Amino acid sequence: MHEWALAESVVLTVLRVAEERNAARVLRVRIKLGELQQVEEEIFSTALRELSKNTPAEDAEFSLAREPAVLKCNRCSHEWKVERDKLKPEEAELIHFLPEAAHTYLRCPRCGSPDFAIESGRGVWIESVELG
Ligand SMILES: [Zn+2]
């Protein structure tokens, strides 16, 4: 149930921002989910609603968007995007829990090297918070 843990840290962060800016209400929160981050959006949304009850974020609109993973080859500097839909579920799962495993399954499409860095696509972050 890591969706609940993620939702809790999002709600706590949003409430801290609202408090720091003396805002009475949180109107809207935009959240980005990395493509390699496995999150059940339905559970995550439910958790956000439940955890913000009886807080200034109670009526906030939480919107979720996916951020594609970007990989960069360490050999030829080529950058490319990875879409999770194109990975097999067991590969996506393995890469999520063990990002190093990405190097076993993915290769630079230009030079074929397994030596690359994950530039983005992991994690969950708050893109913006609108306060009332
Ligand atoms: Zn390359």
Q: Is the pLDDT of residue 118 over 90?
A: no
Cα atoms in the 13 Å half-sphere on the side-chain side of 42: 0
Centroid of ligand 1 to alpha carbon of 110 (angstroms): 5
Centroid of ligand 1 to alpha carbon of 115 (angstroms): 8
Say what the pLDDT of residue 84 is. 67
Say what the pLDDT of residue 110 is. 95
For the beta carbon of residue 20, count every other beta carbon within 10 angstroms. Answer: 8
> 59 falls in which pLDDT band (50, 70, 90)?
very high
Highest average pLDDT, of 43-57, 93-107, 118-132, comes from 43-57
Q: Is the pLDDT of residue 102 over 80?
A: no
Same fold, 2-67+122-131 and 69-120: no
Centroid of ligand 1 to alpha carbon of 90 (angstroms): 25
For domain 69-120, give the CATH number: 2.20.28
Domain map (residue ranges) of the chain? 2-67+122-131, 69-120
Q: Which helix (H) or strand (E) holds 75?
A: none
The rounded mean pLDDT for the chain is: 89
Say what the pLDDT of residue 120 is. 83
> What CA–CA distance (Å, rounded) separates 127 from 132?
17
Centroid of ligand 1 to alpha carbon of 56 (angstroms): 48
Q: What is the mean pLDDT of residues 95-105?
A: 73
Domain topology for 2-67+122-131: hypothetical protein PF0899 fold (3.30.2320)
Q: Is the pLDDT of residue 101 over 80?
A: no
Amino acid identity, position 5: A
Centroid of ligand 1 to alpha carbon of 70 (angstroms): 13
Say what the pLDDT of residue 91 is. 78
